Structure 1
Amino acid sequence: MKRFSLLSVALLYVFCISGIQMVGQETKEKEWMLGPFQRFTQGKPIISKDTLSTFNDPMTGKVVNWESMATFNPAAIVKDGKINVFYRAEERVGEDGIGTHTSRLGLATSEDGVTYIRKEKPVFYPDNDDQKKYEWTGGTEDPRIVETEDGKYILTYTQWNRDTPRLAVATSDDLKNWEKHGPAFEDYKDGKYNDMSTKSGAIVSKLNEDGKLVATKINGKYWMYFGVPHIWLASSTDLVNWEPVEDYEGNISPVLSPRPGYFDSWLVEAGPPPILTEDGIVVLYNAGNSKNIGVEELGNRIYTGGQALYDANEPWKILDRADKPFIKPELDFEKSGQYKDGTTFIEGLVHFNDAWYLYYGTADSMVGVVKAEDKEDKEDHEEDKDEDDQ
């Protein structure tokens, strides 16, 4: 016991001087979960607002400071040995308040997961195109992104016209030129769900034989978890046109809901692309707390991260669910900004250099990242440590 205590102190010292901090507990609550994740950026965000960057806005014809208000809620994908982070950037417009500004997507790239280089201009935005009725003037928000086996990129995002938020789809062959396909449910049953508030589309993916994260089919279809304050499920054969899963009466049916007594008592919202593993489909989701019926010490409206496990063949069938958040606002920049109550809003997940990198928005204001070693690498590390201890 004495030797273990000394080792623990030594490891804690190494973590502190290297800027590495454990997120939540040092061990996973359940074996099927991803993680545990570590903070490694010296307690700082990787992307923050820039009041000097400018852009010629197609909506107004004016030069605007497109990321002067905030940068947050990122998607991520690996291409050509680099992590590409698509983040939501808000231009300050009119009065302060959530949802009152204009959003566009910026891009930052990294070769090591630590240092990020940003593009000067937004790479995806409301334009003078056939989607302007859905995107003017609130913008394009909260992306998620996946790659197909044949190298095409699928972007899901929220179109905000200051009336109804709609989950939409865009595709690209190079991450530079994008084709907007419009709302994901626009054509389903003559637009039955097109005027329903929808957002947060997370498409199920898996690691292929080359260690690449790609969208995957289950029983001949692609699957997407989406929505808030419940999480629903949809399927597609082409990744563009989606059909919500309905019950026998033809009503949309949630596959995950808030739980009184837990950290996700107020709402649940789909996070980054879920991962198909040997245990099942691991769904990382955002969770909101209501302290009077949830976890009192978390407070109201706090966004944390949860994980749930679904059947690999029946994506609507939940098998297990974590009782505690695996990530929550703890650092100063995670609890200060537009959203004063604090968020670790998870949206981007990549597999890079034998580790998982999880990207999240903080307080609707900045971008953070945490990482976790591969399970195999972790086991090898533990075996080496056991040998050293003998």
Structure 2
Amino acid sequence: MFDGAHFPLGPFVPYEGNPILRPRGGSWESTNLYNPAALVDGDEVVLLYRAHAEDIVSHVGLARSSDGFHFEREEEPILSPSEDYEVYGCEDPRIALIDGTYYLTYTGWDRRSAQLCLATSTDLHTWTKHGPLFADFDTFATMDPRGRNWSKAGVIVPAQMQGVWWMYFGEGAIYWATSDDLIHWTPGTPDSEPMYTPTPGSFDAGLVEIGTSPVLTDNGLLLMLTNGATSHVHDDGSSGVDYRCGQIVIDPDDPTTVLARMQVPWLQPQTFEDLHGLVSNVTFVEGLVKFRGRWLAYYGQSDTTLAVAVHDPAHPWGSALRA
């Protein structure tokens, strides 16, 4: 885990060269490219991103960058649907590196159930799939029950707490699970008892979803970026969603309790790409790295393009007082 973070982490400024990755024609990633996991590998930033063609069957691709902004993509996806539970997509990856093994959580989509799945690798190219992690679990149970398995989004804490491994997961509400081996996971509570739920009247009043793997703050808390949504009314009177990005912190000594949350989003739709796309009005973060002294948060723009926002610790909050 990266250290030296403060809560709230930021401010983040969207990169002026966004989008940094777009779909490219005639291939498996020809129509939409978004929602990346991120990690630092030596002197490079690596993105594992979701993309698809017009069939909207998602695969996971890999891109590398020496500066965090300009990426070279591999021609073929590194993870593609091969099983019944993911026949229509391997979606929304998050990643953790623990003792030389990469643990990739992703959503397996069969056009009925969105299930949190796990795959492992030692080289980012050859993957062993371990299947859906949670049977008969609905992370919308307390809000708008799906009536079937639904357990999108999961981040693994890359260090043990209280002698076991921890994962935070869920779309709708956020839950926790523990493991002895990083492969088999047991939810700590039934789906009717989430640890974190939407906040009425706020930017995440409709749903909350875990965003990025945790980083360690300077006072020992775990900080995670989150995604939240509310309903949105368009100018023509139609309704849709509005996804914005928040933050939460957790005490490792009490890992099932959210100590604090940002009251306002640190990132929200504002550019053309943020406001227009396959699912409009969306900034959706899944990757966070500290690279060359700066924090880089990678996010999807309206499920169509991929962008980055930058926090330079040399430019903290409170600029008005320093003027």
Normalised TM-score (structure 2): 0.87
1:172-211 matches, within 5 Å, as 172-185=121-134, 191-193=135-137, 196-204=149-157
Number of aligned positions between the proteins? 300
CA distance in 2, matches of 1:180, 1:108: 21
CA distance in 1, matches of 2:11, 2:118: 31
The Cα offsets for residues 238-294 of structure 1, whole Å up to 9 and x where unpaired, read as 222111111xxx5552111111111111111110112232251212110101369xx
CA distance in 2, matches of 1:77, 1:230: 26
Q: 3-state DSSP class of the match of 1:290?
A: strand
Partner of 2:45: 83
Please tell me the residue identity of whatever aligns with 2:211. Answer: G
Structure 1: gaps spanning 5 or more residues? 1-30, 54-65, 94-100, 186-190, 205-214, 293-298
Partner of 2:115: 166
CA distance in 1, matches of 2:211, 2:129: 22
Normalised TM-score (structure 1): 0.72
CA distance in 1, matches of 2:124, 2:246: 29
Partner of 1:119: 74
Distance 1:313 1:303, change over 3 A: same
Q: Is residue 2:19 matched to residue 1:48?
A: no
Please tell me the residue identity of whatever aligns with 1:135. Answer: E
The Cα offsets for residues 62-117 of structure 1, whole Å up to 9 and x where unpaired, read as xxxx1122001111111132111111111212xxxxxxx21101111101112110
Q: Is residue 2:207 matched to residue 1:267?
A: yes
Please tell me the residue identity of whatever aligns with 1:110. Answer: S
Distance 1:251 1:142, change over 3 A: closer
Q: Is residue 2:230 matched to residue 1:289?
A: yes
Q: What's the Cα RMSD here?
A: 2.2
Structure 2: gaps spanning 5 or more residues? 1-5, 139-147, 234-238
Contact 1:245/1:252, CA 8 A, preserved across alignment: no
Contact 1:78/1:350, CA 8 A, preserved across alignment: yes
Q: 3-state DSSP class of the match of 1:259?
A: coil
Answer 1 or 2: which has greater helix percent. Answer: 1
Match among 33, 41, 52 for residue 71 of structure 1: 33
Partner of 1:303: 243
Contact 2:137/2:191, CA 8 A, preserved across alignment: no
TM-superposed deviation, 1:225: 1.3
Match among 135, 145, 148 for residue 86 of structure 2: 135
Answer 1 or 2: which has greater strand percent. Answer: 2
Partner of 1:365: 304
Partner of 1:33: 8
Match among 143, 163, 166 for residue 223 of structure 1: 166
CA distance in 2, matches of 1:283, 1:115: 25
TM-superposed deviation, 1:192: 4.6
CA distance in 2, matches of 1:335, 1:115: 23
Distance 1:281 1:180, change over 3 A: same
CA distance in 2, matches of 1:251, 1:78: 34
CA distance in 1, matches of 2:268, 2:107: 24
Could you say which structure has the larger radius of gyration? Answer: 1
TM-superposed deviation, 1:378: 5.3
